[in-house]
């Protein structure tokens, strides 16, 4: 069976390939999932997100023909013999990408700038970085922008097939970077519309605060509970309202009205919380601190852990930073993460022995 796959070992012996992609902060999560996207189609479900430079990083190096070696920093490493690759457990998504492209003879090393299961869209960033790197190794060139919609859809389809009812905003943010409003289409074909919101992302950095709560978010369990709760209630109006808040958030970002952006972010968080509480009681003090500082606040991902983030005027964010720092010091768990918004999405580099490092940025 392996004869139908491509051996990358010879190419990678001469040219090493590295890829990376950013994670994201969002307003309007859950509207990008297949079920909510389909059922809310009449109202054009939308999500706003901001790419941040906490990146997933992938390196491809030569390995034995007929073998694939997976090494995920902090998770584990293992050699596999294609086409027998694990489709459950921590290697599942990486294995699915490898199987889709039908490649062997290489070592995959994955490392991240963010905590595991932090709710920042890390798995989507890993998938985009790996797809970009393998594409480059196969085609000896980086993927052109005209292929980006297909790459985002491929990454989404693989993850959605493995883990059931995942969204597409993570892959879109990882691929394109920047601050964007996305409108999702899950009808006769999978598609999205992108509206860029901010040209100078550096102006955003001092208006955003991000913290890791010290434990992973409730990845699959809380996700299935959210879906089941949605099925029980049929609360289409809830997700329509979340999309409306995402659009208001986007308009406020364009106008650099960060207090209004914060109001929309908090409103979207509160709407999601009516369906299923997304923070345990111990973490609610951080939400209250943000409200008292006149900053908007939300959790990342599905909640129950992972990260919390806030947006507001510079001085308000500076005041909130002191309060959150003091709270984490007192609790002995959790910490602030650096915020550098990223205008760059997927980056792929090819390293040759005779040439300087050449990097393609999109």
Nearest to 175 by CA among 1, 346, 351: 346
Please check the confidence at residue 232 and state whether its pLDDT lies above 80: yes
Return the minimum-mean-pLDDT range out of 40-54, 138-152, 167-181, 269-283: 269-283
How many of the other CB atoms lie within 10 Å of CB of 88? 8
Please check the confidence at residue 110 and state whether its pLDDT lies above 70: yes
pLDDT of res. 312: 98
pLDDT of res. 221: 42
Strand partners, 62: 106
Please check the confidence at residue 304 and state whether its pLDDT lies above 90: no
- Nearest 5°: phi and psi at 138? -75, -40
Confidence of residue 138 (pLDDT cuts 50, 70, 90): very high
Q: Give the helix/strand (H/E) hosting 176.
A: helix 169-176
How many of the other CB atoms lie within 10 Å of CB of 24? 29
Please check the confidence at residue 256 and state whether its pLDDT lies above 50: yes
- pLDDT, one tens digit per residue, over 205-224 is 999 999 999 887 555 444 45
Three-class SS state of 228:
helix
pLDDT of res. 1: 66
pLDDT of res. 362: 45
Please check the confidence at residue 30 and state whether its pLDDT lies above 70: yes
Please check the confidence at residue 116 and state whether its pLDDT lies above 50: yes
Domain made up of 2-361: CATH architecture: 2-Layer Sandwich (3.30)
Return the minimum-mean-pLDDT range out of 185-194, 221-230, 266-275, 305-314: 221-230
Confidence of residue 302 (pLDDT cuts 50, 70, 90): low
Please check the confidence at residue 227 and state whether its pLDDT lies above 80: no
Q: In Å, what is the CA distance from 3 to each residue of 6, 12, 64, 82, 110? A: 8, 19, 15, 10, 27
Strand partners, 192: 184
- pLDDT, one tens digit per residue, over 44-96 is 999 999 999 999 999 999 999 999 999 999 899 999 999 999 999 999 999 99
pLDDT of res. 224: 55
pLDDT of res. 189: 78
One DSSP character per residue, 289-326 reads HHHHTT-EEEESTTSSSSEEEEE--HHHHHHHHHHHHH
Please check the confidence at residue 174 and state whether its pLDDT lies above 80: yes
pTM over 0.85: yes
* Burial bucket for residue 223 (CB in 10 Å: 0-12, 13-18, 19+): buried
């Amino acid at each position: 069976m392996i004869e139908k796959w491509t051996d990358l070992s010879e190419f990678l012996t001469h040219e090493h390939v590295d890829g990376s992609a950013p994670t994201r902060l969002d307003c309007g999560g859950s509207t990008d999932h297949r079920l909510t996207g389909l059922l809310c189609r009449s109202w054009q479900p939308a999500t706003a997100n901001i790419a941040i430079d906490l990146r997933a990083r992938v390196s491809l190096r030569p390995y034995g023909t007929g073998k694939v070696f997976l090494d995920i920093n902090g998770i584990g490493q293992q050699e596999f013999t294609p086409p027998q690759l694990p489709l459950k457990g921590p290697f599942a998504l990486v294995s699915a990408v490898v199987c889709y492209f039908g490649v062997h003879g290489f070592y995959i090393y994955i490392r991240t700038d963010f905590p595991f299961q932090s709710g920042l869209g890390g798995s989507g960033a890993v998938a985009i970085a790996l797809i970009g790197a393998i594409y480059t190794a196969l085609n000896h060139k980086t993927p052109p922008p005209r292929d980006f919609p297909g790459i985002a859809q491929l990454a989404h389809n693989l993850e959605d097939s493995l883990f059931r009812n995942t969204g597409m905003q993570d892959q879109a943010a990882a691929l394109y970077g920047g601050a964007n409003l996305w409108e999702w289409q899950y009808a006769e074909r999978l598609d999205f519309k992108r509206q860029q919101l901010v040209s100078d992302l550096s102006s955003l950095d001092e208006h955003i605060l991000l913290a890791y709560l010290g434990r992973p978010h409730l990845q699959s369990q809380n996700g299935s509970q959210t879906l089941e709760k949605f099925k029980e209630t049929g609360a289409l109006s809830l997700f329509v309202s979340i999309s409306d808040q995402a659009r208001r958030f986007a308009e406020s970002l364009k106008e650099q009205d960060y207090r209004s952006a914060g109001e929309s972010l908090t409103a979207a968080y509160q709407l999601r919380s009516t369906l299923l509480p997304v923070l345990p009681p111990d973490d609610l003090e951080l939400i209250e601190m943000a409200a008292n500082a006149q900053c908007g606040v939300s959790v990342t991902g599905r909640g129950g852990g992972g990260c919390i983030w806030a947006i507001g005027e510079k001085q308000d964010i500076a005041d909130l930073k002191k309060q959150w720092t003091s709270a984490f010091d007192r609790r002995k768990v959790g910490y602030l993460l650096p915020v550098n918004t990223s205008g760059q999405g997927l980056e792929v580099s090819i390293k040759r022995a005779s040439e300087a490092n050449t990097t393609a940025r999109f």
